Amino acid sequence: MATRIGNWLDERFGWRRVWEVIFLRKVPKVNWLYTLGSATLFVGINQMVTGILLTIYYVPSPDQAYDSVQYITTQVPAGWLIRGLHHWGASAMIVLSVLHMLRVIFYGAYKYPREMTWITGIISGIIVIGFGFTGYLLPWDQKAFWATTVGTRIAEVTPIIGPWILRIMRGGEELTAVTLARFFGVHVWFLPATLAVLILIHLYLVVRIGISAVPKRGE
């Protein structure tokens, strides 16, 4: 029965060919450092799932943001676990992204013909940092408020366009409800959509071009 269903689906989707291309392709002999990319992707999936669950209860309003976070942590069943996974997952994703980038640099995996794989990876890393920055404000406590105040002030010192960047980030001159709503929108819509597209392109390039082998001595 299972074979018949599999054959029926394969005739219409060609899933066996896709499985072979992605999971049964030949790869060079590598080491555990090559799992950093997969680990980053795994943590990214964790962030997506836990983030969706958090938005069910989170309220992006200055009057209710802090209370909604406390409600998630103390009242929602397993809310403390979901928030903890999301909180620590954010830090883990940044660390793993940096380690993955360093592995690529150290092994020279950014060279021809993998330049575009490298570029999409770098842009994805920048977006991951953007996730951390926009998400830090969402609890709307004193630490988040003043950290975001400092962070946006740093952007303001950019020559010529600094004040304009500050107003775009804050939605005005000061941190207000508009800032919180703007950070929330960017965090849950713009950044995830952009990162999803980049990850799909990145993974396509990894499958299409392949991964680089561990450099040999003298290369």
Task: Look at residues 121, 126, 117, 119 and name the one whose alpha carbon lies nearest to residue 212.
Answer: 117
Task: Look at residues 190, 186, 189, 176 and name the one whose alpha carbon lies nearest to residue 148.
Answer: 176
- Which amino acid appears at position 132 of this protein? G
Question: Are the C-beta atoms of residues 171 and 182 closer than 8 Å to each other?
Answer: yes
3 state SS of 123: helix
Angle at 9 between CA 21 and CA 11, to 5 degrees: 75
Task: Look at residues 152, 171, 190 and name the one whose alpha carbon lies nearest to residue 62.
Answer: 171
Identify the pLDDT of residue 57: 97
3 state SS of 176: coil
Identify the pLDDT of residue 148: 97
Residues lower than pLDDT 50 in the chain: none
**Packed helices 36-55 and 79-106: angle between N→C axes, nearest 10 degrees:** 150
The size of the chain, in residues, is: 219
Query: Percentage of the chain surpassing pLDDT 70?
Result: 99
pLDDT tens by residue, 126-154 = 999 999 999 999 999 999 999 999 999 99
pLDDT tens by residue, 76-101 = 999 999 999 999 999 999 999 999 99
Instruction: Give the chain's mean pLDDT.
Output: 94
Which stretches of 1-114 are DSSP H helices?
2-13, 15-23, 36-55, 65-74, 79-106
Other CB atoms within a 10 A radius of the CB of residue 62 amount to 16
Identify the pLDDT of residue 27: 84
Identify the pLDDT of residue 146: 97
In order of their start, the domains of the chain are 32-209 (1.20.810.10)
Residue whose entry in the numeric block shows the structure tokens 């620590």? 88
Identify the pLDDT of residue 219: 56
